[in-house]
Amino acid sequence: AQSVAQPEDQVNVAEGNPLTVKCTYSVSGNPYLFWYVQYPNRGLQFLLKYITGDNLVKGSYGFEAEFNKSQTSFHLKKPSALVSDSALYFCALERGSQGNLIFGKGTKLSVKP
Amino acid sequence: GAGVSQSPSNKVTEKGKDVELRCDPISGHTALYWYRQRLGQGLEFLIYFQGNSAPDKSGLPSDRFSAERTGESVSTLTIQRTQQEDSAVYLCASSLRAHNYGYTFGSGTRLTVV
C-alpha cells in the first residue's frame, strides 16, 4: 500500500538556523512527491515537487527538498529559517496513475526569534 | 477565476440537516479534488474528478456524502443528515492535469455540526 509518514508532529527551530522537516514514503513504482504549506486560517500552498531528475528540488520561499530513493525519504530543508516560516507542512505522494495525492499528517514548524 | 473559490467559508448546521458545499475551480483545470481536514489532523481524500471520466469516489466515508461536477466547472459536495463527526474543514483543489502537477487549493469551508 502507498503511504506517507511525517514522523515529527512538531519541529522547533531558532531563527537563522537550518531547518529540516522529515518525510518518508512507501510506494510501488516511481514516486511523485510534493510539499505543501498551510498558514493559519488559509488554504494549502504548493511548495515544490519531485517527479524525476535531480534529487535536490528547489521550491518557493527558499525551501528545497532532497529525494533519497534508498532511504525512501523526501525531507524538506531550508538553510536559514525565518519566523514567517512558522506553519503546518504537509508531505504528499501521488497515488499511482489516478492523480489524487495521499497526504502525511503534517508537521508544525515553529521558528522562534 | 484567479484561484479556487469555495463557498461558504463557514457553515454551522444542526445535526441531521443536509449541507451543500461549493467549489469553483480555476478555469481550464480538468482535475478537481475534495479533501477533509479534521482539527489537528492531516488531509483525508474524499473524491476526485478528472474531465468527463467517472469520478473516483473511493474516499467518501459513507453514503451520506456525494459530489457532483458538470464538465470542468463547479463542483458541489453534499452531506446528508449531518453528524457531529462531519465537523471539519472541507478543502477543494484543482489541477491543470491529473498527473504530476501541483494542486491549487481553495481556502476551504469550515463546517460545524451542532
Mean pLDDT score, A68-80: 96
The answer to whether the CB of B69 falls within 8 A of the CB of B32 is yes
Torsion of CA A90, B7, B1, A37, to 10 degrees: -10
Cα three-residue angle A86-A89-A91, rounded to 5 degrees: 160
Nearest residue, CB atoms, B41 vs list A45, A94, A105: A105
Q: Do A104 and B42 touch (CB under 8 A)?
A: yes
> What is residue A97's predicted lDDT score, i.e. its pLDDT?
58
CB contacts, 8 Å: A42 with chain B: 107
Mean pLDDT score, A96-109: 83
Confidence category of residue B96, pLDDT binned at 50, 70, 90: confident
Q: Does A97 touch chain B (CB under 8 A)?
A: yes
- Is the backbone peptide bond immediately before A18 cis, with ω within 30 degrees of 0? no
> What is residue B100's predicted lDDT score, i.e. its pLDDT?
63
Q: Could you give the CA distance from residue B40 to residue A79 in angstroms, rounded to a whole number?
A: 27
> What is residue A79's predicted lDDT score, i.e. its pLDDT?
97
**Closest Cα in chain A, distance from residue B85 (Å):** 18
Mean pLDDT score, B94-99: 75
Q: Could you give the CA distance from residue A112 to residue A16 in angstroms, rounded to a whole number?
A: 9
pLDDT at residue B97 tops 80: no
List, as ranges, residues 11-40 from A with C-beta within 8 Å of B.
32, 34, 36
Confidence category of residue A29, pLDDT binned at 50, 70, 90: confident
Q: Could you give the CA distance from residue A81 to residue A87 in angstroms, rounded to a whole number?
A: 12
Q: Does A104 touch chain B (CB under 8 A)?
A: yes
CB contacts, 8 Å: A104 with chain B: 42
**Tens digits of per-residue pLDDT, B7-64?**
999 999 999 999 999 999 999 888 899 999 998 788 999 999 988 888 999 999 999 9
Locate A21 and state its grid cell: 522537516
> What is residue B2's predicted lDDT score, i.e. its pLDDT?
75
